[in-house]
Amino acid sequence: MRIQLYAALLAALLVLSLFGQTATAAPQIITAEGVAIMGESDMPKDVRAAARREAMRAATEQAGVYVESYTETQDFTLTKDEVRMIAGSILHIIKEEAIPEVIEGTWQYRVRLTCEVDTSEVDIAALAEKKAEIARLQKERDTLEAQNNALRIRDEQRKRAAEAARGTRLEDSLPYTAIFDETLRLIRSGQAKEATLEVTRLIGDPRVTGDALAYAYCLRGIAYYELGEDKTAIQNLRSADEISRSSALYPLWRGDQYYALICERQKRWKDAAKFFRLAWEASDKTDTQLKEQLERAEDRVGKKRGGIGAFLGGIVNGVLSVAGALVGIG
């Protein structure tokens, strides 16, 4: 806010410095024109206003030539912006003409301005004094701006240091929770591809380590399972295992659950039962779906064993029966 006030004050001081009592140059009369073409959807008043703006620009440029020439004769140098500001302040319109025309079938407005430029209104002594004041205010403004920038940089450095001190623990980083929750929501809503992109934000962040990184890999493995990409799913689940297999914060046992589901899909029933059992023992034993999956897998393995046993038992009994018959015959 202070910097904005300084800027406004600078402009005000420069304008106020123009109006003194020095009268060493006669007023000059200048003429300037501006033209604007009317489009199909343009209103005449808008086209006229555009032509007037162009005429004023041209008149101000001409006035600036007189201002610059006059101040040079007084051994006083102005910047281009100062010349433009002074020229606009001492430019007086004494006649204005707005002429509608049709040129080669096109309507246009031509605005002609007749203006007076009175450089006697420029008080060089006052201007020099005000320029010195402006320079002082500009220096003060620059100093204040530098201080503000330094404070902003220090504040950013403190924030980064605080983030580094907190580390990457889930309980200290709410964005982790938000990303994990959004990943799970996407998986459950059938948007597994989007889920892989969401959780990869964490996997690609070097600040994410430990259990949080393991869980991110686990979730990405689950998403790839839902996409039917078993090989990629296993790679991610293994990456999670290499970091951590248990956590007080994250359900990393979900990795074993999805190992089991992949084994089921590949009809490796014994391996499926083993991984479901590992997941169940590591969980809090409240997931009814996991319990049903475990029971189903172990039941399938049991039936398979029973079927083989019955088959082998039948063969043995048959052999024994044949042997008994032969003994009886003998």
Write the CATH number for 111: 3.30.110
Residues 177 and 272 in one domain: yes
Residues 73 and 184 in one domain: no
| d(C-alpha 213, C-alpha 252), whole Å | 11
Q: CATH number, domain at 177? A: 1.25.40.10
pLDDT value of residue 125: 57
Residues 30 and 118 in one domain: yes
Would you list the DSSP string of 248-293?
Answer: SSS-TTHHHHHHHHHHHHTT-HHHHHHHHHHHHHHS-S--HHHHHH
Task: List, for residues 209-242, the tens digit of each pLDDT value.
Answer: 888 899 999 999 999 999 999 999 999 999 999 9
Residues 176 and 295 in one domain: yes
- Residue 116 belongs to some domain of the structure: yes
pLDDT beyond 70 at 172: no
- Residue 323 belongs to some domain of the structure: no
- Residue 108 belongs to some domain of the structure: yes
| d(C-alpha 195, C-alpha 219), whole Å | 8
pLDDT value of residue 161: 67
Residues 193 and 298 in one domain: yes
Burial (CB count within 10 angstroms: exposed 0-12, middle 13-18, buried 19+), residue 220: buried
- Residue 99 belongs to some domain of the structure: yes
What DSSP element (H or E) covers 95? Answer: strand 91-103
Task: List, for residues 284-299, the tens digit of each pLDDT value.
Answer: 888 899 999 999 989 9
| d(C-alpha 235, C-alpha 174), whole Å | 27
Residues 63 and 176 in one domain: no
Residues 79 and 186 in one domain: no
- Residue 215 belongs to some domain of the structure: yes
Going by pLDDT thresholds of 50, 70 and 90, the confidence category of residue 121 is: low
**Which one of 84, 106, 122 terminates a domain?**
122
- Residue 148 belongs to some domain of the structure: no
| d(C-alpha 169, C-alpha 213), whole Å | 10
Contact predicate 92/119, CB 8 Å? no
Enumerate long-range contacts of 146-154, CB under 8 Å, 24 or more apart.
148/3
Residues 96 and 204 in one domain: no
Residues with Cβ within 8 Å of 236's Cβ and at least 6 positions away in sequence, in order, are: 217, 218, 220, 221, 224
pLDDT beyond 80 at 133: no
Helix (H, G, I), strand (E, B) or coil at 87: helix
| pTM over 0.85, yes/no | no
pLDDT value of residue 319: 44
Considering only CA atoms, give the Rg of the chain. 43
- Residue 90 belongs to some domain of the structure: yes
Residues 184 and 301 in one domain: yes
**Which one of 106, 122, 138 terminates a domain?**
122
| d(C-alpha 6, C-alpha 141), whole Å | 7
- Residue 163 belongs to some domain of the structure: no
Residues 118 and 180 in one domain: no
Residues 201 and 280 in one domain: yes
- Total domains in the chain come to 2
Residues 179 and 259 in one domain: yes
Residue range(s) defining the domain that contains residue 301: 172-305
